[in-house]
Amino acid sequence: MATDYLSALNKSGSGLNLAQVTNDLVKATIEPRKDIVNERIARSESTISALGMLRSKFEDLSAGLTLAARAPVRKSVSNDSAIGVTVDDAAKLSAREVEVDVFQLAKPQVLEFKGLTSRDAEVAPGTMTIDFGIWSGDPPDSFAANPERAGVNLTVGPGTTLTQLAEQLDQMVGVNARVFDIGDGTFSLGVSSDNGVANALRMTTIEYPAPPAGVISLTVFDNSTTNSTVEVQAATDMMAFVDGIAIFRPENVLEGVIPGATLQVNGTTTAPATIATTDDAEGAAELMEALVTQLNDTLDYLAQATRRGSEGVAAGELAGDPAAQALQRTLGGLISRGYSGFGSQDVYLSSFGVRTERDGTLTFDRDAFDTAFARDPMGMANLLRDKVASDTAGIDAVGAPYKTDTPPGQFAFRQDSVTRTATIGGVQALGFAEADGRITYPVFDGPLAGVTITVDPDVTEATLNFGRSFVSEMRSSLQSGLNGTGPIQRRENQLSEQIGRETDALTALDERMTALEQRYIRQFSAMEQIVTQLNSTGEYLTNLIAAWNKD
């Protein structure tokens, strides 16, 4: 408030504090309007904050749904630590038992070149050719090259040390090498191959003129005719009997033995190990319960934030907000609706023990879940993952459409096995032959893009059924709400623009306040001058009359 110097100095004026009067009048005119604008800004900022919290809830729920989509409803367990099991595609697992007896592990060939004097001893220059293949015979000095692996050449330059030679060998694909200190004053060069009988090494050397004394001859590392003298371990394949059938692999991994799972072979077995694949009711129930908890967390926040005020209850920060209300309706609809494309009947969350209470919260009935899961364990899987399948024998599908707008339903498959072409969902696809004679068609376009179909050559027509899961639909809706063009972002943009307009309105009110204050000061100053003149005239007349009375 400005100091009223005029009123303080002018004792003949109105006697009013003009600065205070001006300030009170300006405030009475402007402050109520500023309060209204500030209240609108605060309300918009509060709504933006609440939308940010909603975004966080959606992100957490989306992350939880992503994990749920990967969770198996079946488990494969080995009763022997010699064999580990990893589930790759739970949808392919069948409830059954498989016996696996590991007779031999896959191992690399190991060569030892002994009696070397120093790590830094110089090696004679020359060339070394390394071929990959199989050593056989007794002793194993007969070599057959692996036609699927080309040999490699290595040039050993002048001045190369034993350590440097080991480093050069170690950089080659399929070869491992290092120098060992034996402890008796000598050193050895150890060279090993990849696992697998067909990956053994034949090292053939060509030396330049004979090396001088103290230089290691390159021919020391030639095992082309003397393999048995330097081989300390022969390369072998892993050999296992699966349900009595002998299987060989170059690595200690068994893929394809149990569809949907990979077996890691850690050692040989003393008796056949049992790999049991069973429906995991306990794990599936824990997953559903965790999913219900996370859904409730999001739904409860939406309910509180969109609550309309009533007597004794404050309104939520998103009460009446169109974006929040639309998202609330969408989530509620996804929870209550059925999901088709998995068979003759739709799949519902409520079928697996999820109930919606009158207040909108979800509850989980474990007994109802156990009953439903025992009857239809794959129904639970269909709530978690999209699925493409066919009732026609000889056709398998892997993956799911990556397009979120692909509707659930049926899609036609037609194949010409001679030309390896097919029409899948109305789109042409080119196939390639597998080793077992089946034909695989990757789908790169159309509604089923992202799916890979493998069929027997005698299958000419089939129907592919596509079901979109609850988890998939929910994740898609959440992502639509979260993306840059979604309702949350659009609403945040609208509110930010509104705050900008309200801020401009505050600036305009401040400018009007200044102008109004200046106008009032001018008007009151003019009034004060008139009052002063009137008071001066009155004082003159009073004094004049007093003088007359004296006379």
In whole angstroms, what is the distance from residue 513 CA to residue 519 CA? 10
Give the lowest-confidence range in 300-304, 463-467, 538-542: 538-542
64 pLDDT more than 80: yes
Averaged over 73-89, what is the pLDDT?
Answer: 90
Averaged over 543-550, what is the pLDDT?
Answer: 72
CB-based contact 61:298 (threshold 8 Å): yes
- Specify the DSSP class assigned to residue 144: E
Closest by alpha carbon to 95, among 378, 399, 385? 378
Band of pLDDT at residue 5, cut at 50, 70 and 90? very low
1 pLDDT more than 80: no
Give the lowest-confidence range in 369-383, 401-415, 487-501: 487-501
What are the domain boundaries of the chain?
5-58+486-550, 74-104+238-279, 108-233, 387-468
Return the half-sphere exposure (C-beta side, CA atoms, 13 A cut-off) of residue 332. 16
Per DSSP, the three-state class of 1 is coil
CA-to-CA dists, residue 441 to 316, 400, 404, angstroms? 53, 14, 21
In whole angstroms, what is the distance from residue 376 CA to residue 284 CA? 12
Contacts of 535 by beta carbon, 8 Å cutoff, 6+ apart: 12, 13
42 pLDDT more than 50: yes
